[in-house]
A and B are shown apart, each in its own frame.
Chain A
């Protein structure tokens, strides 16, 4: 028995076991891009599944309907004249303001990142005895509110979390912006509570805040080493501002990334 036959048999078994073919398979079958083995298997399934057969039929109808849409002629010639090109060049040259506007999110994100790093470095290199609250606000802003209560009684769990943090600074950026929202409210921040970063998965949008965040984490480990219960007030403010800064950076960058389809 050839490998291909085995594949077919496995796929046949798969389709018998599973009630329906998935949309990717049906869509690929509709435009004929499935390989022979998979096409054979899906045909076998279709023979006994009216629902999938109908769905495939409708997908084919969609394709025909789209293909039947008339193409328009170009309403005019789009050839560029030298004057168009020069006008566009002028627009973007003395439209320097426009350029600046477009770069605004990037610049603000950069500023915010820089600020976060500075705060992190400052705290790291400076005084010890950061309070437990400062740790939570920086490392896990989402828990900040809750932590205020917890802290009064038992700051211990946060310390444990902080110990792991330097090894794995990853979780913060992905949850960055949504997590930061409580911190924003705490700081009375006026940032729009965009769920942007939550939905925008652009990787570079998440890459940017990584540094300040891990800086904040380092801060937490420094804090964890320090003796407990320092003055903390200033540190709390710094940490909250850093968290807000990271969140704002994430929002700004993702908003900017999201503006392009492709």
Chain B
């Protein structure tokens, strides 16, 4: 199965730890090497958690700033998981900021200011592209309706390919809880997507 946000080209864990160690001593260049490795993953996590680009970009920036400033709290477990947890918190902060300003609410982006998250796929024809785009929008919308903890667990597991252990360490909870969050999240998505398919299933689909 294809994995759309693959882990960074396996920077050996000890290389990462060495960079983190140097960053901890205030070496910004070492930290930026970690940024290079992880910015795509962090940005995509924020994008899927928040559902649109500008907030995801802000949250990503905030996440790296917080990570650098809080690097002393990194105790040498999974760096990627540690970073993702900070990113998830940055997303929560962003969500809270936005819920204070209803005009920028997640569900109804003001027309023209936010484009739905879609990534061009050169290999597909225009029609297939449009259909696929609709499906992606449905999935993204359904994701946004999940409770934040389930959303995070599902995104990390099924979109970013994290192992249960890493998710548990990032969410500071047990593997059992992670599995259960994932199960409930998937089940809710299943119901929503099945309902949508039934609703659209009037024969206008290939």
Contacts and interface: CB of A to CB of B under 8 A. Distances in A.
B124 to A, nearest CB: 11
Interface string B158-188: 1100001000001111000001101110110
Contact of B139 (A33, A66, A76, A77): A66
Nearest to B175: A33
Contact of B47 (A24, A72, A84, A85): A72
Interface in A20-46: 23-24, 26-28, 30-31, 33
Interface of B (DSSP majority class): helix
Interface residues of B, number: 63
Contacts of B118: 70
B40 to A, nearest CB: 5
B199 to A, nearest CB: 15
Q: Give the size category of A's interface with B.
A: 35 or more
B121 interface: yes
A64 B1 contact: yes
B164 A261 contact: no
B183 A23 contact: yes
Contacts of A79: 32, 35-36
Given A62-B190, A88-B69, A78 B61 contact: yes
A78 B44 CA distance: 13
B3 interface: yes
A146 interface: no
A3 interface: no
Contacts of A59: 186-187, 190
A85 B71 CA distance: 13
B117 interface: yes
A71 B152 CA distance: 16
| Chain B CB within 10 A, most for which of A63, A88, A261 | A261
A68 interface: yes
A74 interface: yes
Contact of A261 (B28, B61, B149, B194): B149
29 contacts: A24-B183, A27-B187, A28-B183, A31-B157, A33-B179, A62-B158, A63-B186, A65-B193, A67-B4, A67-B158, A67-B159, A68-B2, A71-B40, A71-B44, A73-B40, A74-B60, A76-B57, A77-B35, A79-B32, A80-B32, A80-B64, A80-B65, A80-B68, A84-B65, A85-B28, A89-B69, A262-B89, A262-B149, A262-B172
Interface of A: 23-24, 26-28, 30-31, 33, 55, 58-59, 61-80, 82, 84-85, 88-89, 259-262
- A-B pairs, top 9 by smallest CB distance, nearest first, are A27-B183, A70-B119, A71-B4, A66-B158, A71-B5, A262-B171, A79-B32, A78-B39, A58-B190
Interface of B: 1-5, 28, 31-32, 35-36, 39-40, 42-44, 47-48, 53, 57, 60-61, 64-65, 68-69, 85, 88-89, 91-92, 96, 117-119, 121, 135-136, 139-140, 148-149, 152, 154-155, 157-159, 164, 170-173, 179-180, 182-184, 186-187, 189-190, 193-194
